[in-house]
Structure 1
Amino acid sequence: MECSLAVQSFSQKKLFTSVIEDLVKQGWSVQQNSLPEKLQQDLVDEINYFDNKQLLLPAAIGRHHEKQFDQSIRSDRTLWLDGRSKTQLTFLNFLEAFRLNLNEQLWLGLDEVECHYAVYDKGSFYKRHLDAFNGYESRVVSVIFYLNKDWQETDGGSLKLYSTKDTQTVSSVLPERGTCVCFISSEIPHEVLPAFRSRMSIAGWFRRQSIIEKSLGL
């Protein structure tokens, strides 16, 4: 048991180090084998359970008083993780370790992490956008974990990352289980191409409270 935990800790540290090196170099990172297989399967089982309970709802764009629903821009369904289960607590503890490493190595002053399950049904997509909202910019680093096995290019649903300076694609990522994508929220435009089969992921953001949010008590 102790050996297994040591191996897992080493694997996590290696992941965090690789991501941080990429963020410094280019502002984005794509890593394979990011989570233990058992945790990935537990997350998939929980998504399916909540989906069967019809708890994943159409996703909004914007935050707080600016929130709106526009399925011409975004058509996935989501459910926020709140620590309601052992599986969620395990995953959130992993993200907390990730946050601490980002702060330790990059001095980002990250206060918290938020994340949600996301299901893209057949034909669903999310048009090109930035994750940091104008005026708030509380989301500093975005992170995505993919949960589908045996994903093929013909299944669609790729994540496209764009250059900060132009429309050039810097990476096109298949949403294959175990893949982790991380990028600077205010700098990397991205989009999800239409999926041709059900596509499952967890999207998260390492945040620091913005001046506007503090003034509004958010």
Structure 2
Amino acid sequence: MSRSHLAAAHVDAPGDEGYQRIAAALHDHGWSEQDDFLPPDLTRALASECAALEAAGALMQARVSQGTDRSLRPELRGDRIKWLEAGQSLACDRYLAILETLRVVLNRELFLGLDNYETHFAFYPPGASYRPHRDRFRHDDSRSVSIVVYLNANWLPDHGGALRLHPQGRVTHDILPVGGRLAVFLSADMLHEVLPATRGRSSLTGWFRVRS
């Protein structure tokens, strides 16, 4: 789907004021958290798609970066992923249209020069985690803003699975993976980790990129 088609698609969340709150928090703190970023029906549709991919064995074990190589290190990173492509489903295209609007607002408010967006479904089985890391690779500095949107219904604090942010010079901040919740942070600056959970945990994880 082209950028013009994304702009013309039905965008149903969260309103310009909501996008501006995200931009303001990203500017002031380096991260933002917003509940109900996605409409409930879209969250359910994306969660069902992720679950169907997992059941079909279509999610592949994620790799970690080591220099210019990408290797399987399940002791460091335990999620299984599948990259999104425009046109693969109506739900995915609705989601990509919403993120295209966010990209435009962040560029307008913060002059970040964000050029494109890449994203994948991510599923963490019970007990899986991702050790502390940053999202920008040593050999590729194109990832600028990290985006996580959670797809988990009826998530409780006792289930665990928080995204733990480590802002420089501040106390850590935990974001529980509640369905429809958005987490945004600066890719190069924010050390973060995914804590283990007692149940499976799904999300859409992606990055706004600048031209390399």
Q: Same-fold call, TM > 0.5? A: yes
Secondary structure of 2:91's counterpart equals helix
Q: Can you give the 5+ residue segments of structure 1 that lack an aligned partner in the other structure? A: 211-218
On the 8 A contact 2:32/2:184 being kept in 1, the answer is yes
Return structure 1 stretches of 4+ with deviation > 6 angstroms.
none
The corresponding residue for 1:138 is: 142
Matched ranges for 1:81-120 at <5 A: 81-83=84-86, 84-120=88-124
Secondary structure of 1:122's counterpart equals coil
Secondary structure of 1:177's counterpart equals coil
The corresponding residue for 1:182 is: 184
Task: State the TM-score, normalizing by the size of structure 2.
Answer: 0.90
Matched ranges for 1:21-36 at <5 A: 21-36=24-39
Distance 1:63 1:207 in 2: 20
1:128 aligns with 2:132: yes
The corresponding residue for 1:52 is: 55
The corresponding residue for 2:7 is: none
The answer to which of 26-35 and 57-66 deviates more is 57-66
Residues 18-45 of structure 1 deviation map (CA, whole Å, 9 limit, x = unaligned):
1100011110011111011111111011
| Bigger share in helix | 1
**Residue among 141, 153, 156 paired with 1:152:** 156
The corresponding residue for 1:208 is: 210
Task: State the TM-score, normalizing by the size of structure 1.
Answer: 0.88
Secondary structure of 2:92's counterpart equals helix
Secondary structure of 1:200's counterpart equals strand
RMSD of aligned residue pairs (Cα, Å): 1.7
On the 8 A contact 1:12/1:34 being kept in 2, the answer is no
On the 8 A contact 2:68/2:139 being kept in 1, the answer is no
Name the amino acid aligned to 2:76. I
Residues 142-164 of structure 1 deviation map (CA, whole Å, 9 limit, x = unaligned):
01011112211211111100022
Residues 25-75 of structure 1 deviation map (CA, whole Å, 9 limit, x = unaligned):
110011111011111111011111111211011011128942111011101
1:42 aligns with 2:45: yes
What is the aligned length? Answer: 202
Distance 1:63 1:127 in 2: 14
Note the C-alpha offset of 1:191.
0.3
On the 8 A contact 1:145/1:201 being kept in 2, the answer is yes
Secondary structure of 1:172's counterpart equals strand
Secondary structure of 2:85's counterpart equals coil
Residues 119-159 of structure 1 deviation map (CA, whole Å, 9 limit, x = unaligned):
11011000000001113221100010111122112111111
